[in-house]
Amino acid sequence: MSGNKSFRPRARLPRGFRDRGAAEIAAERAVLDTIRRIYESYGFEPLETPSFEYTDALGKFLPDLDRPNEGVFSLQDEDGQWLSLRYDLTAPLARYVAEHAQSLPRPFRRYQTGTVWRNEKPGPGRFREFTQFDADTVGSASPAADAELLMMLADTLEALDLGGDYVIKVNSRKLLDGVLEAAGVGLDDLARRGIVLRAIDKLDRLGLDGLAKLLGQGRKDESGDFTKGANLPATAIDAVLKFFAANDPESGRGGPRSNTQILAELQSFVGTSTIGAAGIADLVALNELIAANGYADGRIAIDPSIVRGLDYYTGAVFEAQLTFPVANEAGETVVFGSVAGGGRYDDLVARFTGQAMPATGVSIGVSRLLTALRNRTSAQIAPLVVVLAMDKAGLAESFALVRELRAAGIRAEAYVGDAGLKAQFKYADKRGAAIAVMEGSDERARGEITLKDLALGAELAKSVESRAAWVEGRPAQIAVPRGELVARVNAMLAREG
């Protein structure tokens, strides 16, 4: 008998993935609409690329590429070629530009929002599937393109009601290359250079002591895991540490310094490095533009500690960080880190074409941003009106009612189940409906409908003492003329706010 039992899969989610309900979706929709509005006001236009790309098109910039399925989710198609879910929205853009380069305006300006996937170890607040919103300018090497993205990002965060609660920090990979070159780490020393850049990227979490260990032999973390270091000589480690110590805003150098002061002080750390001097020049030009437009008021700040983890960045790099306390899922106050970032990646399109194509972009981590804004946003789906089924003979009339409500811009549904009236009220309550509409045969004969304020009814159930006052001011259930349906529903919704 046991062999005849049908298989029943266990209802469960894969690790690192999650379901999302109406409230979170409504909040995300509001955030996406705001970002889209700002990006389009700057002249950026939308583009959509597929979720899958050929794995080789995603490039060498993904982690752990010893096998195709490490870092990305991959599969083989019927031709034996590897396909991967996109890791970000930038690599697909580079493929698109390379494919359509002859027909695109230059510079080419696009924005894109969508889901990305990373085959990495999940953890608290770290998922394998999340949403990003990018904007990129391809075909311009001017620092003006970088400055525009920074100003647009600031405008976006302001529009999201984050004014005064963020800072956008800017650096240049050229400057860092110059500092490393002056310290004896050449541009052709790719392996050690990569280790050093990843170590610097952890400076805000590990501090100068932790950075020193990663620049040297390595570091063992709290769990006992050992991270191999860059094995730099002591003189090189000392030069890098002095650079970051000198530019630490909390180093006791007389309080906050302007971008112009910081840039002047950076000159001494690049020595005779040509690429370091180019990085300084780019940042100076960028700062002049943001200052002339009123953004060098603390919202956009030069910060040499910003690195960005991906190896494809070649010039300006930046991160938007929140400055207010954020509570995690356990209610603990945490340092949240960046909610947006980006930079210049002048070599990415050239992987396909062999020809130089300068580019710069910004990416907002929408999923991370929503986590930070969990207690600061009140976006909701429009209130729902449910038309109950009083009798089977009146189903057509029920649909006529909801059509009339929808035509007036009211979110409405007709009950299509087969339960009785009591169960229908329970259904409306579980749906979070604001109003129930009833039209039975008796009401229909009188030319009336009955409206029940479900929100008010729930309030009355909380306190018997206040019932008389509530009913006197706002009766929970009223009969109104059929022709006043829309006006009366709108009035009740307005009272609910």
Tens digit of pLDDT for each residue in 233-280? 888 888 888 888 766 655 545 557 889 988 988 888 887 889 989 999
Domain stop point among 320, 350, 372: 372
- Report pLDDT for 63: 47
Question: What's the mean per-residue pLDDT of the chain?
Answer: 85
Q: pLDDT confidence of 145, banded at 50, 70, 90?
A: very high
- Report pLDDT for 449: 93
Query: 């609910």: which residue's tokens?
Result: 496
- Report pLDDT for 472: 47
Distance CA 160, CA 365 (A): 14
Q: pLDDT confidence of 70, banded at 50, 70, 90?
A: low
- Report pLDDT for 249: 55
According to DSSP, residue 300 is labeled: E
Q: pLDDT confidence of 206, banded at 50, 70, 90?
A: confident
Q: List the structure tokens of 457.
A: 């009814």
Contact 425, 438 (CB under 8 A): no
pLDDT for 164-195, tens place per residue? 899 999 999 999 888 888 877 777 777 777 78
| Residue 6 resides in a domain | no
Q: Which residues contact 391 (CB under 8 A, 6 or more apart)?
A: 440, 441
Q: 167 - beta bridge partners?
A: 321
431 burial via Cβ count (<10 Å: 0-12, 13-18, 19+): middle
Average pLDDT estimate for 395-416 = 94
Domain stop point among 372, 400, 425: 372
Residue 128 has pLDDT above 60, yes or no: yes
> Are 356 and 408 contained in the same domain?
no
| Residue 1 resides in a domain | no
**CATH code of residue 459:** 3.40.50.800
> Are 359 and 415 contained in the same domain?
no
* H or E, element range at 260: helix 259-266
> Are 105 and 247 contained in the same domain?
yes
Contact 70, 119 (CB under 8 A): yes
> Are 105 and 185 contained in the same domain?
yes
Give the chain's domain count.
2
Domain stop point among 312, 339, 372: 372
Q: Residue 232 phi/psi, 5° resolution?
A: -75, 150
Residue 407 has pLDDT above 80, yes or no: yes
Q: What angle do CA 168, 172, 175 make, to 5 degrees?
A: 140
> Are 348 and 392 contained in the same domain?
no
CA 193 to chain centre: 29
| Residue 432 resides in a domain | yes
Q: List the structure tokens of 152.
A: 């647009």
- Report pLDDT for 232: 87
What does the DSSP assignment read for 404-425? HHHHTT-EEEE--S---HHHHH
Side-chain half-sphere of 287: how many Cα atoms within 13 Å?
A: 22
| Residue 226 resides in a domain | yes
Which residues form the domain of 479?
384-496
Instruction: Tell me which of 53-67, 113-127, 216-230, 335-349 is least confident.
Output: 53-67
Distance CA 240, CA 248 (A): 13
| Residue 303 resides in a domain | yes
| Residue 14 resides in a domain | no
